[in-house]
Structure 1
Amino acid sequence: MHEEPQGPAEEEPAVGAGPQAVAPEPATGPDRLDELAQRLGGELAGLRAEVAREHHRAAAREQVIDRLHDENQRLRAGERLLLLRPLLTDLQRLRHDLLRTAAGLPAGFDTAAAADMLRSYAASLELTLERGGVTVLVPVAGAAFDPSTQRATGTVPAVDPGQEGTVAEVVLDGYHDVEAGRTVVPAAVRVHRWLPDPDPVPAGNGPEPTSTTQPTPTP
């Protein structure tokens, strides 16, 4: 048998091989510019809308803050008036008492009676302070100086070393907040200070005393 001569083997096309797809070229010219302009215009419109929404939200927040501030101010004013009402009532009563007493003073009203009247009004004010939670601090002369409730405004010479650092004189009373447990106004006092005398000169070491006897005249 004669074998037929074979020609060059035909190559099978590779799988997926075929004519290459040609990508479309990007548009150029006026059409491309119009497309870009439309895209930019849309993005700008979106930004403007977002800025407007943020502006409205900020304005709403400001309104809420202003309303809360006004409510807080009204509440504080009401609390202040509620706290001060007892004190204001006592001061009103004290003012009326002072005016009524001044109008009814007798003709022979002397200094001692005036002092007693003023002390009674001071006692009334002290009761008013106590109702508000404040007590009066009245230092005792001769007691030790207490820097936690007192402040020294001056010194007074002590007559002996035992008076050093004690209260010599009360200038102003102090005030203590009972609820807070602290002194709000310290009492003003003068304090004793011991100043020892200089060392005395030992006997025999000083200068000889000068005689004051006049000489007897010679006849």
Structure 2
Amino acid sequence: MSDVSERVEPCALASEFTAALARQQELAERREDIVTRLHDEVERLRRGEMETALDLVRHSLIRLHDQILRQAEHVTAPLGVEELRALLTALADEAADTVARTGVERYVPGPGEAFDMVLQRPVGRVAAEGPEADRTVARVVAAGFVQGERVVRKADVVVSRWEPDAP
């Protein structure tokens, strides 16, 4: 009789093990389904955020487009230099406003401001009027753009350099 009970016990253990293994497999499949569903949801949210951000830029560019066409309708004769300059400046300001809606701000250093390699890129050099003007911004060629602490594009500047007369 002890032979039969010894045979039944391993069969019962094997049966319990098989059942436990099946439960673990079921749990693993459920976890995998949850992970897959969450991944799909994250991807859908990312696409939605990207579309929302792009919509902001699209609407701003459409408004810029409309403004350019409205300005074009008002041109009835050749523009003078000042009128053309004002028109182009207004369009550049509108473009900068469009970029600002994405969180990127225009940065324009002032003349006489100390040259900053992090925010500015030297594109030219002029003689400084005195030693106090050495390594300062003489003129801005192109604005820079920043997003918080991140420099998106450095401002292009002409830098003043002081060089005392050689003896």
The normalised TM-score by structure 2 is: 0.71
Cα displacement (A) at 1:67: 1.4
CA distance in 2, matches of 1:41, 1:183: 68
Cα displacement (A) at 1:104: 8.8
Residue aligned with 1:57, SS: helix
2:150 equivalent to 1:158: no
2:120 corresponds to which letter in structure 1?
A: R
CA distance in 1, matches of 2:15, 2:94: 75
Q: Which runs of 5+ in 1 are unaligned?
A: 1-26, 201-219
Task: Kindly indicate which of the two structures has a greater share of residues assigned to helix.
Answer: 2
Task: Write the mapping of 1:104-119 to structure 2, written as runs, cut at 5 A.
Answer: 109=78, 112=81, 115-119=85-89
CA distance in 2, matches of 1:97, 1:157: 38
Q: 2:107 pairs with 133, 137, 148, which one?
A: 137
Work out which of the two has the higher radius of gyration on C-alpha atoms and give 1 or 2: 1
Identity across aligned pairs (percent)? 32
Of structures 1 and 2, the one with the larger relative CO (CA 8 A, separation 6+) is 2
Is the 2:133–2:161 contact (alpha carbons within 8 Å) kept by the matching residues of 1?
A: yes
CA distance in 2, matches of 1:55, 1:161: 78
CA distance in 1, matches of 2:36, 2:70: 48
Cα displacement (A) at 1:97: 4.3
Cα displacement (A) at 1:164: 0.7
Root-mean-square deviation (Å): 3.4
- Paired position in structure 1 for 2:158: 190
Between Structure 1 and Structure 2, how many residues are aligned?
164
Q: 2:63 pairs with 86, 89, 93, which one?
A: 93
- Paired position in structure 2 for 1:16: none
Is the 1:155–1:193 contact (alpha carbons within 8 Å) kept by the matching residues of 2?
A: no
Q: Which runs of 5+ in 2 are unaligned?
A: none
CA distance in 1, matches of 2:84, 2:69: 14
